[in-house]
């Protein structure tokens, strides 16, 4: 019986409670539920973002209110201390912004989401415990870094390495400077914290400073005291331009400090090879020839530095030999620089810094490597050059130069032998060899000497003597004078009537010499001859003697009556014209002897 009462009684009680809750929820629903055609729902009381109550506002209105507040906050003044110096700035310049713009949506989600029962329960909870959501603001790290870079650079010293120099044979060290920089990330955190704490009025905060120690400190350089290696080369044969290049290039390497593991490049130190960078035009190697090049001679700098580094036993990171042998070191001990593909690079493989000193004195180039000596005193290192093969350059190359005098010669480039060689590193301890290492194996090209020669001398034509007609004396009874007075009897021929050939032929000109009487003289060397050379001018009283063989004249050139006079005689091979002589071993022209050769620059690269 009791169960029956209890159960119905229990059922009626639960139904009455459910009906009460349902009535309350329906009442709340009538208040909170909004038809789709009505205006946007408003937030209940008890919801806060920061210090702002959102009760009675729509979600849009709440967001607009907070954005208006953020705009006003951008104008707040911030007094930022940077290493003791004040920097005035606004929050907007630091990139002030609202970090959690979804805060309003989050607040609305507490009461606007879920079913009616859930929303009713949230409303009841809000009456007892309001919802507070933080209003998070901040500044931008990038804006802080840009501000420091733009306005605070002069306030913060840059780190400066300690330096070392060699003056009057002694080292002088200048201490380094500790640098200061602003940690933009840490400074942002400070500003964000202060802006959240103080929401009205001006704000004061200090930037976070980081101390940056120099990479090279005074104590590091104090270990540079000992000579690790030194080497010198001579440039006595160099001209003024090449000598100036050696001095200029060496000065650009001088004073370099290499910390452990650092590498020095000769090319990087000395380039660009331009007039503006202090270089001049001098001889250099190019494609197997000696040519003029701006900066000619810098390969001797590379070679001298290379040998000093060898003696210091530094690591040789890069080295190439010349295309042809050089005169200032033995084969395989040279180092070339050409563009960026040939360079001398040395690396400090010591645990302490090294100092590179380089320069010229008189006609000597010297490089010295200083550092802290750690090698045993009884250990000796030397470098031995070994020649494996020699190639003769061959006969000189001759090039015709039209501007030179005929037959002259001038050497413009010396010959270079070709070589194959190698370099050994030999280590001895207490005078006993303990190590022999092959360092280089090189090939040097042979190069012919180059000689400029003048054009050949002009050659006079040589006539075959057999083609020259013989001249005969006058016939018997003929009057043999060609140029006598009109009507004068000629000289008698020989009684036999046969003319005798002339003895020695006269000069090549077309007429004989003129005697004091104005008569044309006979051809030279004739004896008892009746004929004279045809064409002689009239000699007496201005009369013109007709040519031999003219009708009615008794004189003729060859003795033949009426025969034409022969052509002027050509030079005989027995007596050649001096202009026709060609240089020959038997009779060389004085101008054909070779002029002293101009030696190629001994130090050209």
Measured between alpha carbons, how far is 484 from 548 in angstroms, rounded to an integer?
11
- The model's confidence at residue 110, banded by pLDDT at 50, 70 and 90, is low
Q: Which are the contacts of 23, defined by CB distance < 8 A and separation ≥ 6?
A: none
Relative orientation angle of helices 59-73 and 103-112, to the nearest 10 degrees: 160
Q: Give the model's pLDDT for residue 316.
A: 98
Least confident of 180-189, 309-318, 484-493: 484-493
Query: In this structure, are residues 54 and 135 in contact, taking their beta carbons and an 8 Å threshold?
Result: no
Q: Tokens in use for 490?
A: 């000629």
Query: In this structure, are residues 323 and 286 in contact, taking their beta carbons and an 8 Å threshold?
Result: no
User: Regarding predicted confidence, which is higher, 382 or 588?
Assistant: 382
Measured between alpha carbons, how far is 69 from 61 in angstroms, rounded to an integer?
13
The radius of gyration of the chain's CA atoms, rounded to the nearest angstrom, is 57
Residue boundaries of the structural domains of the chain = 32-73+101-134, 74-100+136-222, 223-453
Q: Give the model's pLDDT for residue 286.
A: 79
Mean pLDDT, residues 177-182: 94
* Residue percentage of the chain with pLDDT more than 70: 67
> How many angstroms separate the Cα of 539 from the Cα of each of 456, 515, 516, 543, 547?
45, 9, 10, 7, 13
Query: In this structure, are residues 244 and 185 in contact, taking their beta carbons and an 8 Å threshold?
Result: no
Nearest to 79 by CA among 234, 217, 202, 212: 202
Whats the size of the chain, residue-wise? 605
Q: Which residues pair with 167 in a beta bridge?
A: 170
Measured between alpha carbons, how far is 55 from 46 in angstroms, rounded to an integer?
6
Query: In this structure, are residues 336 and 322 in contact, taking their beta carbons and an 8 Å threshold?
Result: yes
User: Regarding predicted confidence, which is higher, 279 or 602?
Assistant: 279
> How many angstroms separate the Cα of 173 from the Cα of each of 166, 229, 371?
9, 21, 14
Q: Give the model's pLDDT for residue 506.
A: 35
Query: In this structure, are residues 93 and 143 in contact, taking their beta carbons and an 8 Å threshold?
Result: yes
For residue range 491-536, list pLDDT tens digits in order: 433 433 333 333 333 333 333 333 333 333 333 333 333 334 333 3
Least confident of 102-116, 176-190, 293-307, 471-485: 471-485
Provide the total of helices (H) and of strands (E) in the chain, helices listed first. 10, 27
For residue range 16-50, list pLDDT tens digits in order: 334 444 444 444 444 444 444 445 678 888 888 88
Q: Give the model's pLDDT for residue 42.
A: 82
Q: Give the model's pLDDT for residue 223.
A: 95
490-521 per-residue burial string, b: 16 or more CB within 10 A, e: under 16 = bbebbeeeebbebeebbeeeebbeeeeeebbb
Least confident of 248-257, 306-315, 453-462, 540-549: 540-549
For residue range 226-271, list pLDDT tens digits in order: 999 999 999 999 999 999 999 999 999 999 999 999 999 999 999 9
Nearest to 501 by CA among 549, 573, 574, 566: 566
Measured between alpha carbons, how far is 563 from 471 in angstroms, rounded to an integer?
12
Query: In this structure, are residues 601 and 245 in contact, taking their beta carbons and an 8 Å threshold?
Result: no
Q: May I ask the CATH architecture of the domain 74-100+136-222? A: Roll (3.10)
SS3 at position 16: helix
User: Regarding predicted confidence, which is higher, 516 or 107?
Assistant: 107
> How many angstroms separate the Cα of 472 from the Cα of each of 496, 523, 545?
14, 12, 21
Whether residue 424 is predicted with pLDDT greater than 90 in this model: the reply is yes
């Amino acid at each position: 019986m009791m169960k029956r009462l209890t159960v119905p009684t229990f059922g009626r009680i639960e139904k009455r409670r459910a009906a009460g809750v349902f009535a309350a929820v329906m009442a709340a629903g009538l208040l909170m539920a909004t038809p789709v055609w009505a205006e946007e729902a408003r937030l209940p009381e008890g919801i806060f973002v920061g210090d702002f109550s959102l009760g009675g506002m729509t979600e849009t209105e709440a967001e607009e209110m907070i954005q208006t507040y953020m705009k006003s906050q951008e104008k707040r003044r911030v007094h930022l201390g940077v290493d003791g110096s004040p920097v005035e700035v606004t929050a907007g310049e630091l990139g002030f912004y609202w970090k959690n713009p979804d805060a309003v949506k989050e607040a609305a989600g507490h009461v606007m989401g879920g079913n009616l029962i859930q929303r009713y329960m949230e409303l009841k909870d809000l009456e007892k415990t309001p919802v507070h959501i933080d209003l998070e603001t901040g500044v931008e790290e990038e804006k802080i870094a840009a501000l420091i870079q733009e306005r605070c650079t002069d306030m913060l010293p840059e780190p400066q390495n300690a330096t070392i120099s060699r003056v009057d044979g002694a080292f002088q060290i200048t201490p380094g400077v500790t640098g200061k920089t602003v940690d933009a990330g840490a400074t942002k955190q400070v500003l964000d914290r202060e802006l959240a704490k103080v929401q009205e009025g001006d704000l004061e905060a200090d930037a976070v400073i980081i101390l940056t120690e120099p990479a090279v400190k005074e104590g590091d350089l104090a270990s540079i005291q000992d000579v690790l290696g030194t080497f010198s080369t001579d440039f006595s044969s160099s001209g003024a331009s090449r000598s100036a290049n050696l001095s200029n290039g060496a000065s650009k390497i001088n004073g370099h400090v290499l910390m452990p593991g650092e590498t020095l490049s000769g090319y990087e130190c000395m380039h660009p090879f331009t007039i503006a960078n202090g270089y001049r035009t001098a001889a250099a190697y190019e494609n197997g020839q000696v040519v003029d090049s701006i900066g000619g001679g810098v390969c001797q700098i590379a070679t001298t530095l290379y040998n000093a580094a060898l003696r210091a036993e530094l690591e040789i990171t890069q080295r190439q030999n010349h295309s042809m042998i050089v005169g200032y070191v033995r084969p395989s001990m040279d180092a070339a620089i050409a563009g960026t593909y040939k360079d001398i690079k040395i690396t400090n493989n010591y645990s302490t810094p090294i100092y590179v000193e380089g320069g010229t004195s008189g006609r000597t180039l010297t490089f010295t490597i200083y550092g802290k000596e750690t090698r045993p005193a009884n250990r000796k290192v030397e470098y031995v050059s070994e020649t494996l093969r020699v190639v003769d350059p061959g006969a000189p190359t001759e090039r015709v130069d039209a501007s030179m005098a005929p037959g002259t010669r001038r050497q413009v480039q010396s010959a270079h032998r070709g070589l194959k060689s190698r370099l050994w590193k030999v280590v001895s301890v207490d005078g006993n060899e303990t190590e022999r290492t092959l360092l280089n194996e090189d090939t040097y090209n042979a190069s012919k000497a180059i000689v400029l020669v003048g054009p050949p001398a002009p050659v006079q034509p040589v006539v075959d003597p057999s083609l020259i007609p013989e001249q005969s004396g006058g016939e018997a009874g003929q009057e043999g004078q060609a140029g006598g007075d009109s009507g004068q009897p000629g000289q008698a021929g020989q009684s036999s009537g046969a003319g005798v050939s002339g003895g020695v032929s006269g000069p090549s000109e077309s007429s004989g010499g003129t005697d004091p009487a104005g008569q044309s003289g006979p051809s030279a060397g004739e004896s008892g001859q009746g004929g004279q050379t045809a064409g002689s001018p009239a000699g007496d009283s201005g009369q013109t003697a007709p040519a031999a063989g003219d009708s009615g004249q008794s004189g003729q050139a060859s003795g033949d009556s009426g025969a034409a006079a022969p052509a002027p005689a050509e030079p005989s091979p027995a007596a050649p014209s001096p202009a026709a002589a060609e240089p020959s071993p038997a009779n060389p022209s004085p101008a054909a002897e070779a002029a002293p050769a101009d030696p190629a620059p001994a130090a050209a690269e």
